[in-house]
Amino acid sequence: MIKIRIHYLFYFVLVFLIQSVQAQEAAVPKLIWKVNKVDLGTVFEEQGIQTAEFEFTHTQDSLFYIQDVWTDCGCTTVDFTKDTLAVGETGTLLVAFDPVSAAGFFNRMVIVKGNLQDTQDTLFLEGTAIPYPENPEKIYTQKIANVGFRLPKLNMGEVFTNVPKIKFLEFYNFGKETLYADSLKFNVPEYIGISQVQEFVRSQERGLIQVSFDGAAKNELGYVEDQFAISWDSLSVIPVQVIAEVFEYFPPFSKDELAIVPQLVLSTKEIDLKNISSKSIQNRTVSITNKGQRLLEIRKIQGNCDCLKLEIPKTEINPGETIELQLTFDPVGRKGIDQRNIYLFSNDPVNPVQLFVLKSRVE
């Protein structure tokens, strides 16, 4: 009898646990949102109020309606579906943001409460608000053909070869004509993409040009400079300079592979030439060894001066092999403390870029 009771008890406990797990797996949110966060990107003050739409679907058998909505800032206002929704029906919230109230990055929160129990969701609205400048002439000093830019070059920063890098070029329309996105013309290399963000930019307004840089298509590592040209139908050609630091992307690998992958080791990371004459050309060597178990490939060796000459006998180094990097430094025209940076790019996934420094005091 005791054994039977134990079996029944075990059976009921097992059934209860199975039902609990199934209930958790079957749990469906009462509201399913298409997105719960919208990024407005860069918003200029003169663009006025910006709106974002959040759409949801009601999933429960009970009738649903939005009971209340709260925001964490008076700069946002909300309009929402007032209808009562049956299962499967959709509703929307329109959130309006006034950029006059913000400067810099913003992250606004909207809380939505429904009539059903546990229907309280949080939505987010973010972006960067830029106030209108008091004196555009002082801010957008790089002016060409009535279009002003903040800086002479667009710095893309670090660009990896696995995904294109996107940045925005801000400009100011000093002219009298409206600059339309569909009239923007450009002449760019295949690894650079261009588009105007705003449909139109009126006189005395600011706009954004989206610039994408594909490091893999560029097919060059390290510091790079490029130039492309843009124009609108009514304006002259405007040259734009772009700089970037391109790095090869290496996917993650296991700890067990750490001793197997190529490993670039330099005999030294610094040479101090001490006091040298500006008329004396200096020659030095640095050993490069592959301490890994796979072929090491030297992708590129880059110095930060034309005064450097860098040579290696080959670009592929077998496991355990050592080659010599020949450095020639011509200090002509230099005086005082001098430092030259030399970058080695390789397929060593742990240290794909290594820095070697050449120091001297030129007399």
Phi, psi for 197 (deg, rounded to 5): -70, -50
Note the pLDDT of residue 29: 61
CA gap 173, 196 in Å, rounded: 13
Judged on CB neighbours under 10 Å (0-12, 13-18, 19+), 212 is middle
Averages of pLDDT over each 10 residues, the chain, 363 residues: 47 47 50 89 85 89 87 86 87 90 85 85 89 89 91 94 94 93 92 93 92 96 92 86 95 87 94 91 94 95 91 96 94 90 94 93 90
pTM above 0.85, yes or no: no
Summarised one tens digit per residue, pLDDT across range 301-327 is 999 888 999 999 999 999 999 999 999
The domains located in the chain, with CATH, are 31-130 (2.60.40.10), 136-247 (2.60.40.10), 255-362 (2.60.40.10)
- The candidate with the shortest Cα–Cα distance to 40, out of 135, 165, 129, 154, is 129
Summarised one tens digit per residue, pLDDT across range 224-249 is 999 999 999 877 889 999 999 999 99
Note the pLDDT of residue 2: 46
In the 8-state DSSP scheme, what is residue 64?
Answer: B
Helix ranges, 96-205 (H): 136-139
- Spell out a b/e string for 16-51, using b for 16 or more CB atoms within 10 Å of the CB, else e: eeeeeeeeeeeeeebbeeeeeebebebbbbebeebe
3-state secondary structure of 191: coil
Note the pLDDT of residue 24: 45
Note the pLDDT of residue 99: 86
Angle at 167 between CA 161 and CA 171, to 5 degrees: 150
What would you report as the CA-atom Rg of the chain, rounded to the nearest whole angstrom?
A: 31
- The candidate with the shortest Cα–Cα distance to 294, out of 333, 276, 332, 321, is 321
Are 128 and 104 a contacting pair, CB within 8 Å?
Answer: yes
